[in-house]
Structure 1
Amino acid sequence: MLKLLSRPAVRLVERYLPDPYIFVLILTLVAAIAAMLVERQSPLAIMRYWGDGFWGLLSFSMQMLLVLVTGFMLASSPPVKRLLDRIARLAKSPAGAIVLVSLVSLAASWINWGFGLVIGALFAKALARQVRVDYRLLIASAYSGFVVWHGGLAGSIPLTIATEGHFTADQIGVIPTSETIFAFFNLAIVLAMFVAVPLVNRFMLPDERDSVYIDPAQLDDAPRDLGPATRPAERLEKSSWLSWLVGIPGLLFLLDHFVFRDGGLNLNVVNFLFLSLAIVLHRTPRSLLDSLHEAIKGGTGIVIQFPFYAGIMAIIMQSGLAQTLSEGFVAISTAQTLPFWSFISAGIVNLFVPSGGGQWAVQAPVMLPAAASLGADIPRVAMAVAWGDAWTNLLQPFWALPMLAIAGLKAKDIMGFCLIQLVVTGVIIALGLTFL
């Protein structure tokens, strides 16, 4: 049944899904028109919201770009690549490759979203060199594991509300991750994802006549051999001691941060960890710089599109549209159903504001007072917003850009398969938030 359903979904998406840049331009127009019709905002006011907010996420954009770049450099280091190739040899069939890449991507995304995207793509390429399998579904399976990121260790919403002095601390205080990331209901949802996502991907595997394969020779990304160093500058570029003198102190700093100073995990710490490990594992600055050159290619979409999403977020927030949408769902909620409607509303808002932290800034002022007045479980409501943000990434192509750049595919190649996952995972998350 899933194979039959995926076939028209793939054809539909291939025909009608535009390039992600076109998608963000359309979303900009939709947000502007909705603000005029629903909130009665003037075109001049909307233009000012958009222009004033266009550069509002530069700091966050840089953090996101660094997560991608440092994660790529770590994942493409020789020891990690050898490990990926060794694990890829475990797959003996197309079905086994699909299940394996799904599990690896889920595990890596639960640790950190950037690491998951990069590891998923590189591991999918390693599998494609070992097994003849539909390349579109292989990359779609790697991307589908991304759905668990906001319920994992790097989830921006649970980490935000677990931080002293966060912007809603006066309303809800500090909520430890034991009540969000490591709560029973959240761990149960994550566990269900580790079962359902690989199975759904495996059952969508097309017949051989409908499959799209890739020549393994096209996936060979071996580093260039530039020959022996002949200049002092080249010797520095190929020196291991220079990398170790910088990378090892970086790791020692993180050891001090976590063990002796009881430091927390945030984006800056994650980036520092990835960069320090990449410096050490690449051994030479030349190897690291070659990896950086490849990583930057995958970040071009973030660089050009994130300002547009910042502008959309400004329209949604300042016009009152996000508040109106959230209040509409709150109005039909009870203490029991508020997490479900928070999840649905967050999924809709995420199409326009694909940023967990930005989305929380939009929805927290509405959802938290509602949770307090209804007597709902506040950590559960916060995680409902987090899961809604992660869920519709299966429909929103923005976060697929880095993986697509690494894989050499377009969004329309994988989003048909992701559409099926959107339905299945949506049901699982909704049931877990409501009844567990």
Structure 2
Amino acid sequence: MLRVLSRPATKLMERWLPDPFIFVIVLTLVAAIAAIATQGTSPIALIQMWGDGFWALLSFSMQMLLVLVTGFILASSPPVRKILQSIAGLASSRGSAIILVSLVSLAASWLNWGFGLVVGAIFAKEVARQVKVDYRLLVASAYSGFVIWHGGLSGSVPLTIATPDHFSQAQIGVIPTSDTIFAPWNLVIVLAVLIAVPLVNRLMIPLEDEQVLIDPAKLADQGRPAPMSQHPTPAERLENSRVLMWLIGIPGLIWLALYFIGGGGLNLNVVNFLFLFVGILCHGTARSLLAALDEAVRGGAGIVIQFPFYAGIMAIMIQSGLAASLSEWFVSISSAQTLPFWSFISAGIVNVFVPSGGGQWAVQAPVMLPAAEALGADYARVAMGVAWGDAWTNLLQPFWALPMLGIAGLKARDIMGFCVVQLLVTGIVIGGLLLLL
């Protein structure tokens, strides 16, 4: 049934889903029209909001570009490549390849969302080199693992409310991760997702004559360093010096050790720092590192041009009151038992326009938390409802797929048909458990 369902979904997306740049322009227009129609925002005021917020994600855009670049540098280094090849060798059939990629991506995304995006894409390419399986579904399987991230160790909503002096502490206090990430009911949802996502991906494998395969030669690394000449210059000797890389790489690892010993936690900057300096040591020479860098940067164009437009959409949604109004409508039809579920649904819709976990919580918390207090609902469950909703519709939103697509060499339309099927299934699984547990 899922194979039959994925067939028209894939064809629909291939025909109608434009490039993510067109998608973000359409979303901008939809958000603008909705703000004018429902909030009474004047066109001039709306343009002012949009322009003022356009560059609000510059720091985050650079962080995301570095997630792609540093992650690729590390994953393409000789030692890590051998590890990935060994794990990929466990896949002996199309079905086992899809399940293996799904599980690796889910596990990596639960640990850290940035790590999951990069490792999933690199690992999918490695498996495609060894097993003949539909490449679109393989990459879609890697991306579908991202749905678990907000229920994991890097979830921005549960980590925010567990941090002293967070913006809503006066209302809800500090909620420890034992009540959110590590709560038994949340772990049940995580387990259900770990089972459902690989199973659904496995059941969507196209028939033999419908598969879209890729020539393994096209997946060969382009970033191989040029060999050193027979009579190297001093500059070439420096570029191929392992001592130089150790002299800069070891201090980087020492800083990381001091950071974690001092109680520091994972965040995007630390993950990028880790990827970069472990990558420096694993490549061994500057020439090898820079060859990988050249290949990695080619996939980052979408991030550079699209993230400012999403910042503009976020400004429209927040400053016009559109996001708050949408959340308030769902609150109006909720009870103490159903508020986590409706928080999940409303967050999923808002996430299409505001694809940022922390930014979305800043928008929805002022609406959801007073409602939870008035209805007597559990704050932790409502917060995690928003968190899971934010992660859920990333399966439809190509914003987060850009780093993975850049590494894999595909377009959003190639994988989104499969992701839509996952959207339906995981929506039932997560939403149903939020109601039942």
Q: Which residue of 2 is the match for residue 288 of structure 1?
A: 289
Q: Which residue of 2 is the match for residue 80 of structure 1?
A: 80
In structure 2, C-alpha distance between the alignment counterparts of 1:231 and 1:163, rounded to whole Å: 53
In structure 2, C-alpha distance between the alignment counterparts of 1:342 and 1:311, rounded to whole Å: 24
Identical counterparts, % of pairs: 71
Letter of the structure 2 residue corresponding to residue 308 of structure 1: F
- After TM superposition, give the deviation of residue 223 of structure 1 in Å: 4.1
- After TM superposition, give the deviation of residue 408 of structure 1 in Å: 1.5
In structure 2, C-alpha distance between the alignment counterparts of 1:67 and 1:176, rounded to whole Å: 28
Are the equivalent residues in 2 in contact too, given 1:74–1:80 (CA < 8 A)?
yes
C-alpha RMSD of the superposition: 1.4
Are the equivalent residues in 2 in contact too, given 1:72–1:115 (CA < 8 A)?
no
Kindly indicate whether residue 319 of structure 2 is the aligned counterpart of residue 318 of structure 1: yes
When structure 1 is superposed on structure 2, of 14-23 and 263-272 the one drifting more is 263-272
Q: Which residue of 1 is the match for residue 237 of structure 2?
A: 235
Pair 1:275–1:225, CA change in 2 (3 A)? closer
Letter of the structure 2 residue corresponding to residue 205 of structure 1: I
Normalised to the residue count of structure 1, the TM-score between the two structures is 0.97
Normalised to the residue count of structure 2, the TM-score between the two structures is 0.96
- After TM superposition, give the deviation of residue 330 of structure 1 in Å: 0.7
Are the equivalent residues in 2 in contact too, given 1:159–1:266 (CA < 8 A)?
no
Q: Which residue of 2 is the match for residue 410 of structure 1?
A: 411
Aligned-partner SS, 2:167? coil
Letter of the structure 1 residue corresponding to residue 260 of structure 2: F
- After TM superposition, give the deviation of residue 225 of structure 1 in Å: 4.0
Kindly indicate whether residue 159 of structure 2 is the aligned counterpart of residue 154 of structure 1: no
Q: Which residue of 2 is the match for residue 254 of structure 1?
A: 256
Q: Which residue of 1 is the match for residue 247 of structure 2?
A: 245
Q: Which residue of 1 is the match for residue 432 of structure 2?
A: 431
Aligned-partner SS, 1:398? coil
Q: Which residue of 2 is the match for residue 419 of structure 1?
A: 420
Letter of the structure 2 residue corresponding to residue 325 of structure 1: L
In structure 1, C-alpha distance between the alignment counterparts of 2:294 and 2:370, rounded to whole Å: 47
After superposition, where does 1:49-64 map in structure 2 within 5 Å? 49-64=49-64
Aligned-partner SS, 1:132? coil
Q: Which residue of 1 is the match for residue 220 of structure 2?
A: 220
Letter of the structure 2 residue corresponding to residue 172 of structure 1: I
Aligned-partner SS, 1:397? coil
- After TM superposition, give the deviation of residue 163 of structure 1 in Å: 2.2
Are the equivalent residues in 2 in contact too, given 1:68–1:115 (CA < 8 A)?
no
In structure 1, C-alpha distance between the alignment counterparts of 2:77 and 2:36, rounded to whole Å: 50
Q: Which runs of 4+ in 1 moved over 6 A?
A: none
Letter of the structure 1 residue corresponding to residue 416 of structure 2: M
Superposed CA offset, 1:36-84 (max 9, x none): 0000111011000101111112122222222222222222221111111
Kindly indicate whether residue 406 of structure 2 is the aligned counterpart of residue 400 of structure 1: no
When structure 1 is superposed on structure 2, of 375-384 and 316-325 the one drifting more is 375-384
Letter of the structure 1 residue corresponding to residue 436 of structure 2: F
- After TM superposition, give the deviation of residue 298 of structure 1 in Å: 2.3
When structure 1 is superposed on structure 2, of 59-68 and 421-430 the one drifting more is 59-68
In structure 2, C-alpha distance between the alignment counterparts of 1:63 and 1:405, rounded to whole Å: 15
- After TM superposition, give the deviation of residue 262 of structure 1 in Å: 1.7
In structure 2, C-alpha distance between the alignment counterparts of 1:220 and 1:213, rounded to whole Å: 15
Letter of the structure 1 residue corresponding to residue 191 of structure 2: L
Q: Which residue of 2 is the match for residue 46 of structure 1?
A: 46
Are the equivalent residues in 1 in contact too, given 2:340–2:382 (CA < 8 A)?
yes
Q: Which residue of 1 is the match for residue 304 of structure 2?
A: 303
Q: Which residue of 2 is the match for residue 129 of structure 1?
A: 129
Kindly indicate whether residue 37 of structure 2 is the aligned counterpart of residue 37 of structure 1: yes
- After TM superposition, give the deviation of residue 374 of structure 1 in Å: 1.7
Q: Which residue of 1 is the match for residue 199 of structure 2?
A: 199
Pair 1:223–1:311, CA change in 2 (3 A)? closer
- After TM superposition, give the deviation of residue 293 of structure 1 in Å: 2.1
In structure 2, C-alpha distance between the alignment counterparts of 1:298 and 1:223, rounded to whole Å: 13
Aligned residues: 435
Superposed CA offset, 1:223-278 (max 9, x none): 4241225122222222222222222222222222222x222222222222222221
Aligned-partner SS, 1:370? helix
